[in-house]
Amino acid sequence: MPDHSVYRARDLARDERLIVERWLGRRLSNDETISINAYRPHAAPRPGKRQSLRRTIVNQAREIGSRAGDISDQEIDDMLDDAFDAVRGRGR
């Protein structure tokens, strides 16, 4: 069985769509794509492995951030605020 599935909202059966909308707490538009992932629980990584994973994530974040160019901290904060507001349904 796969642990990942992708569906178009317009292709969902009515009852499937209602369940997804209930989970999300909002209505879906027909042009949206729904991605479902199932994860099995696992033990937390050992402390040494956690540090290694943390370094990898920080390095990836720095590399991605380096592509942003000359954006001020205020511009970044404003973009984050806009994104959070959009997700929470509170347009600015």
pLDDT (0 to 100) of residue 90: 65
**Domain range list for the chain:** 1-38, 45-92
pLDDT (0 to 100) of residue 49: 92
pLDDT (0 to 100) of residue 62: 87
Compute φ and ψ for 5, nearest 5 degrees: -140, 150
3-class secondary structure per residue, the chain: CCCEEEEEHHHCCHHHHHHHHHHHCCCCCCCCEEEEECCCCCCCCCHHHHHHHHHHHHHHHHHHHHCCCCCCHHHHHHHHHHHHHHHCCCCC
pLDDT (0 to 100) of residue 12: 96
pLDDT (0 to 100) of residue 45: 87
pLDDT (0 to 100) of residue 52: 92
pLDDT tens sequence for the chain (92 residues): 678 999 999 999 999 999 999 999 999 999 999 999 998 888 988 988 999 999 999 999 889 888 877 888 888 889 888 988 888 876 55
Indicate yes or no: pTM above 0.85. no
